[in-house]
Structure 1
Amino acid sequence: MAEETKDDDNVEPHLQSTGALLRQAREQKDLTLEEIAKKTRIPQRHLASLESGDFDALPGRTYTIGFAKSFARTVGLSDASIGSQLREEMEEQGHGAYQPEMSGYAPANPSSIPPRYLAWAAAGIGVLVLVGYLVWRTVILNPGDMTQVADSGSATGTEAVSGNSEPQNIEDSGPTPSSEGTVILTATETVWMKVYNADGDRLFEDQMAAGDTFTVPADADNPQILTGRPDALTVTIDGQVVPQLGTAERTIKDVGVSAAALLARGEASNPVANPPTD
């Protein structure tokens, strides 16, 4: 009886199609096609085509044999035997002449595929390396740019003084302007302002765009300004930049803008004193 059992085990697998053998082995292990697909990373539709022998629905001879061998290993069959049998079946059905199989081919092994979080981590490291390189390249090739940024708070000349920079002394900008000089207000951003005489007569009232200028009349009687954005105005006397009227988005009112008032204001407080507010 034992010998008969042994003979049954050695029956040629060719008595059944490759697909039938795979299906039978899968069912004996109580596995579904969906579970096989998850284990082998082979699309479920390709596994179903293997079991039904629908070779036309499969991607190609080499891939089909690879799928079958991976399927066989998962259900406990010999991948070499299944691969050989399937190759013969495909040749008999006219699915391409014999071609040597790609050595070591098999669908991706899930254990050899890195987790998704590792891929994201690698991408993040790549971005950090790139940013670090760009910063290094900027510092090495253009060191003056970094110095300019560091010194921007004390820039003089024709540059507008930012709201976060330290106001500078008038004498640091060059020759002291004349108290009879021409005062020009230049907008560095969109800003509304009103300039008026001591008696309240309006000299100017409008919204200015960046680059717009207003020249305070030389004969104005103690001209003063009202604006909510003193930080958006650059003030010059005879072309010489003087401290800003304010260094933040803070409304100022009744602040003198004649050359004499601006010079007195600069002398009275270095840096510029905070103007009165509403």
Structure 2
Amino acid sequence: MKDRDQDNSETEATAPETGSVGSQLHAAREAAGLSLTEIATRTRVPIRHLEAIEASNYSALPGSTYTIGFTRSYAKALGLDETALLTELRQELAEGGYQNVARTPEYEPADPARVPSRPLAWGAAALAIALIIVYFIWRSFALAPVAEGDAAKPVAEAPIKDQSGPAKAETQIDPSGQVVITARETVWLKIYDAGNNRLYENEMKAGESFTVPKDANNPMIVTGRPQVLDVTIGGKPVPPLGNGERSIADVGISAAALLARKTEAAPVQNATGASTGPAAESAAQQ
């Protein structure tokens, strides 16, 4: 062990050789003069989960898969030998009976303190319903025939003509096309079917892709960074799975499910032909 550490000393930092994985990470962090807040910023892992790892309190973590993923990110942030640490961690999990534990993830990368409150969720749902009602009211007036006068014709004709554009664009995506998920940055994700059979579970590197089997039974995904994933159907892009404000779980990624989400997120065009809505705002920012 000592010879190996000496050989790697020029390229990689090492953790103390004694104690639990959590105590080794704690000692290495203090030796580097870093706080838990700084580690959380670097890894996007909530502070409460970093504290649980350092204390070897694995029951406070979402599950063994998340524990391993969080620990890997922690070790990378400190420049430690993640392979050796993860080997020790798996042994600790097996000895403590945590190896096969899997619970619904409760972390939120963008807001480590807590998940959104129930009133906030209900408020967002009410706002969405109100926006849908306003849109249909606006659309009924926009499509109403003009009674008289030529001056209003350009305004009346513009929405009708332009609204045919998105509808035609929607038909260009083949619902039987192959769904492919590609990572723009390194991200951990898990893909499984309705029977909870794992189709993919790993840390996907930038540029790597996964092709969702067409015969998969309602394939779904869970990940903490959906904004760095590009999703295509038959080679054509669809809106992102999330904006990165929170992790996602049980999100359908079959072609039918993605097209349903795409229809809901389709932009609304105003009388001048300009698109509005989440998809248009994202395109404008790019």
Q: What interval of TM-score do these two structures reach, taking the shorter chain for normalisation?
A: 0.3 to 0.5
Work out which of the two has the higher radius of gyration on C-alpha atoms and give 1 or 2.
1
Question: TM-score, length-normalised on structure 2?
Answer: 0.34
